[in-house]
A = this chain, B = another copy of it.
Amino acid sequence: MPRIEFHARRTIEQVEEGTQLAPRFGEDGLIPCVTTDASTGHVLMLGWMDADALRLTLETREAHYFSRSRQALWRKGATSGLVQRVIDAWIDDDQDALWLRVEVAGSGASCHVGYRSCFYRAVPTGAEAGRALRFTESELVFDPVTVYGDAPNPTQL
């Protein structure tokens, strides 16, 4: 399999209207990635990738991210078995964001808390703005303690 080449970013026209993959990684070397469930369209998570994670994702069709809390390459599902199989991948106009549509293996969860999506709470808007967040997934899809044991929680305060 050819190792994917990322092109240098030379002009706005090349980046926006061209067919060369020229991703813009931030100062931390990372690019954000929106991951949605290909069947429901739900946003599952917003992850981050370094160049290796992006190459591995595109080559293997399994989502890889860079864990900012662990500062390490992270094959999604390596611990939990909840692998994300890539249906298709997209890049945005200025090539500083990615979008993956995936199928999730096993119980179909993508969130370390145990929910299907990381976005399990609605934020009230308009006349309701400022009120309490509203939970919309009533049951955990898996038990994080069983799956992750005593691994440290990745959430940073």
Contacts and interface: CB of A to CB of B under 8 A. Distances in A.
- What is the interface residue range for chain A against chain B? 35 or more
Chain A contact residues, majority secondary structure: loop
A84 interface: no
Interface string A24-58: 10000000101010001111011000000000011
A12 B130 contact: no
Please give the count of copies of this chain that the complex contains.
Answer: 2
Interface string A104-130: 000000011101001111111111011
A15 B92 contact: no
Contacts of A91: 119, 121, 123, 133
A81 interface: no
Contacts of A45: 92, 97
A104 to B, nearest CB: 16
